[in-house]
A and B are shown apart, each in its own frame.
Chain A
Amino acid sequence: MEHHPVVRVAAKILIPPILLFALYVQFHGDFGPGGGFQAGVIFGAAIILYGLVFGLKATQSVIPPQVASILTAVGVLLYAGVGVWSVMLGGNFLDYNALDSHDPVHGQHVGILIIELGVGITVAAVMIVLFYGFAGYLRDHD
């Protein structure tokens, strides 16, 4: 079986811009198409591309399965944490206006940003966990 240098070099060149593009979609989501879910999918796709080209073992040394599992929960905790935080500041659950007592618009900005970050982390981690699960399954029954 050959080395497939074209695929390897193309993946090496493409993966960093893909990760950067995921961050752009994440944090530019207020002004254009995008948001947490899409950014998470793009981020996960970059890791999956790495896994396809360089193997499951190399990918799991970059992002261990335990870390990916924990990150799935961290995103949801960030999301719910903003809700609880707004309750503690005297608003309703996920009431962004309560996050900044002087400027409600600024509070909405901060709230949306953190919540979308939580969504992005969870989606990316779930994509990676799914890839680990299915790739490992096929290897066991090889």
Chain B
Amino acid sequence: MFVVVTVALLVTMGLALARAIVGPTLYDRILAVNTFGTKTVLLIAVYGYLTERPDFVDIALVYALINFIGTVAVLKFFESGEFAHSWRERRERVEAGDTGDDD
């Protein structure tokens, strides 16, 4: 049963990867990569039970966490082009007339 689930997950990951390569917009790619990461989490967990090593659930948890932080980082970078300021600080700067593009 776990073998079927593993194969189905691999097919889904292939489809997500195809979407990430084809695009066409940035957000398609980010969503596809995020989906790919989520499927990887599931794959690690299922593979752990397939090989009778349930310890893999710990690794799947870590992968989910890194996937979330990576997606937040990529989205923030493409929205504001930097990591130093929070969204609130950046909005206050924009309202104060400092676009951050000078210099």
Contacts and interface: CB of A to CB of B under 8 A. Distances in A.
A52 B100 contact: no
A7 B89 contact: no
A14 B86 CA distance: 17
Nearest to A31: B55
Contact of B72 (A49, A135, A139, A142): A49
Interface residues of B, number: 29
A52 B88 CA distance: 12
Nearest to A139: B84
A84 interface: no
Contacts, number: 81
B68 interface: yes
21 contacts: A1-B90, A4-B87, A14-B68, A21-B61, A21-B62, A32-B58, A33-B58, A48-B69, A49-B68, A49-B69, A51-B83, A52-B73, A52-B83, A55-B88, A131-B83, A135-B82, A138-B81, A138-B82, A139-B85, A142-B100, A142-B103
